[in-house]
Chain A
């Protein structure tokens, strides 16, 4: 099953935990907000949920 990772930019407060947990999918911009790698998520085990 192909899944797409998305960020709710309104709720996002820039904690940066997501980039720490999924460094190959998420990097942080110069203001601390997540930048997602485009495209579907490669298959992997379920990760923890985020603040």
Chain B
């Protein structure tokens, strides 16, 4: 087993086509530069699309590789593939590139830099489940440039007669819940991109009532590599329980943001600056958990290490809060955003999240009073598990971890003090959205 390695766009010589690459990272992202890899560059690096013929072969390889979803839920990929493949009907496969988490940029980077790896994975997944339709779900982003890049990539493949299944690009509205899998299905059906009640899960009944495989774009990229180089290659890095590599969006303590590919099990102190400039770390994005910097120093990039502390990798967002910031103000701003992004369909979420946001806003101010913290905790408990999706649960987790980790700051605010030296926001939060018209 090689030692876990980390690289952020360092030059690496590519292997001859079809040969196993050394396990030095990066694997998903191109070796150097920030230029989108066209089809030629992709094929020189990774060889041709390895069609498998029979679905069981790829699914067995994915099972052996232990690939889990990289969209946040970490669900075993082979089980979704097997469920959709075995469900009959006319399955639909959708690559979910709608990166709605404001603090995450890894899917966008992957699609921008290595679109053909994702599109290979989409074709292979479609073959594995016997799909009759394939789609790629994307936010429009700034001026629709990402969709243009993907459109060009698809045109290249079409000209080379590479794809066996046509891929339709579907636009996701710029809302937080748009990337949720049942919201995605709703959007494809022409309805607003808000979650639906499950069961049935989308892999049983999704687009047009057919079994639908929804897979994050990074997951599909890993799938495309495993199909080429095999499960043992994939397991050569990472940990036995969590093999392989993952893309992480890192917000450094000095304000830089970057996307890196890291082996699972990498110590966090190798990825982040956790010296005394750092106060706390947000792990897993805005539905994730806060951890004190000192605690994070001892942890690794693995759910096995994080779960006992109530945290999880999620979609790989790691944000280090600098020492001179008020964690409660940051948390309050994010919580207001999350509350505004509620679909407003379920009573507990609709009523609870705005109240929690208001409470956190008060706690971020001077002398909030003792009852407000108790109210916030109570409401966080009330909304958990009582919506059609996990938006209230994730928000509650984020809020409760903030109240725990920033407890000392709460006490300071109670006395009318705050340790913040800087006022401007640290965590990225979009301007508040205006209503439902933009959910279509």
A and B touch in the complex (CB under 8 A): yes
Instruction: Give the B-binding residues of A (Cβ under 8 A).
Output: 8-14, 29-33, 35
Contact: B348 with A8, CB < 8 Å? Answer: no
List the B side residues contacting A35 at CB < 8 Å.
382, 386
Bound together, the chains give a CA A29 to CA B348 distance in angstroms of: 9
Contact: A9 with B351, CB < 8 Å? Answer: no
Determine the residue in chain A with the shortest Cβ distance to B345.
Answer: A10
Bound together, the chains give a CA A31 to CA B347 distance in angstroms of: 8
When A and B form their complex, which 9 residue pairs have the shortest distance between CB atoms, in order from nearest? A9-B346, A33-B347, A31-B351, A10-B345, A8-B197, A10-B388, A10-B197, A9-B388, A14-B347
Q: Which of B335-371 contact A (CB under 8 A)?
A: 345-349, 351-352
Contact: A10 with B346, CB < 8 Å? Answer: yes
List the A side residues contacting B345 at CB < 8 Å.
9-10
Contact: A9 with B382, CB < 8 Å? Answer: no
Q: A9-B386, A10-B388 are in contact. Are A33 and B348 (CB under 8 A)?
A: yes
Bound together, the chains give a CA A14 to CA B350 distance in angstroms of: 12
Judged by DSSP, the binding face of A is loop
Interface centre among A8, A9, A13 (most CB of B within 10 A): A9
Closest-CB distance, B434 to chain A (whole angstroms): 22
Q: A33-B386, A35-B386 are in contact. Are A11 and B347 (CB under 8 A)?
A: no
Instruction: Give the A-binding residues of B (Cβ under 8 A).
Output: 196-197, 345-349, 351-352, 382, 386-388
Bound together, the chains give a CA A30 to CA B386 distance in angstroms of: 14
List the B side residues contacting A33 at CB < 8 Å.
347-348, 351, 386
Closest-CB distance, A14 to chain B (whole angstroms): 5
Closest-CB distance, B110 to chain A (whole angstroms): 33
Contact: A12 with B382, CB < 8 Å? Answer: no
Determine the residue in chain A with the shortest Cβ distance to B387.
Answer: A9
Of B196, B347, B351, B352, the contact of A12 (CB 8 Å cutoff): B347
Q: A8-B197, A10-B197 are in contact. Are A31 and B348 (CB under 8 A)?
A: yes
Closest-CB distance, A50 to chain B (whole angstroms): 15
Bound together, the chains give a CA A35 to CA B382 distance in angstroms of: 9
Bound together, the chains give a CA A35 to CA B346 distance in angstroms of: 13
Bound together, the chains give a CA A35 to CA B351 distance in angstroms of: 14
Bound together, the chains give a CA A47 to CA B382 distance in angstroms of: 27
Bound together, the chains give a CA A14 to CA B351 distance in angstroms of: 12
Bound together, the chains give a CA A30 to CA B381 distance in angstroms of: 12
